[in-house]
């Protein structure tokens, strides 16, 4: 059952928020340089203290749930010794997919901030908009709230990794081929 987020936490200091967004983008760029998907995220307190970080390790770990945001939530939970992340903020290099938004909701995250929107990610070969289309309009109104904060140069991190025709095609390369029925 999803925790009901408390009043949405806010990072009042614009410079602090931009620094957190830049950190998420730097995590994404480093992960891409190391052969991973170019996505990074962190969990922060409203005062800007970083409580957890993560990068997308789907390909490396063969784990379809190892998105950067989920990894950041896991890291914050381990560090806090609690799965309740109420009152915290998820900061991501790119707009989280529906899976990651749902995970943030379950954890009690109050707000999500991101540097690159889903359309810009799709233009760079990372198209996960189908999840939003599948669940629309519910996905658009899903809590926690998501806010786009463009960061100059953030889209370049998406270009640092090999582009796939779509995220589904990228992940399909990691799946065994099944032939016939019941495979």
Residues labelled as active-site residues: 69
**Which residue reads 């983008």 in tokens?**
25
**Which residue reads 């991101």 in tokens?**
114
Question: Cβ–Cβ contacts within 10 Å for residue 70, how many?
Answer: 24
DSSP state of 95: -
d(CA 165, CA 154): 20
d(CA 35, CA 70): 19
- Measured N-to-C along each axis, helices 14-33 and 68-80 cross at an angle, to the nearest 10 degrees, of 110
CA distances from 159 to 31, 69, 98 (A): 12, 19, 22
């Amino acid at each position: 059952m999803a925790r009901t987020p408390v009043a949405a936490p806010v990072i009042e200091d614009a410079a602090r928020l931009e620094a957190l967004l830049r950190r998420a983008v730097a995590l994404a760029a480093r992960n891409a340089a190391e052969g991973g998907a170019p996505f990074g995220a962190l969990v922060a307190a409203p005062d800007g203290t970083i409580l957890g970080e993560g990068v997308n390790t789907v390909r490396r770990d063969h784990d379809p749930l190892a998105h950067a945001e989920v990894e950041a939530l896991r890291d914050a939970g381990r560090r806090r010794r609690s799965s309740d992340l109420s009152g915290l903020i998820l900061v991501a290099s790119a707009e989280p997919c529906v899976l990651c938004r749902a995970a943030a909701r379950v954890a009690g995250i109050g707000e999500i901030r991101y540097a690159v929107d889903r359309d810009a990610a799709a233009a760079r070969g990372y198209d996960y908009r189908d999840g939003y289309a599948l669940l629309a309009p519910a996905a658009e109104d899903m809590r926690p709230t998501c806010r786009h904060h463009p960061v100059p140069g953030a889209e370049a991190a998406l270009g640092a990794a090999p582009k796939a025709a779509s995220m589904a095609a990228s992940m399909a390369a990691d799946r065994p081929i099944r032939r016939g029925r019941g495979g």
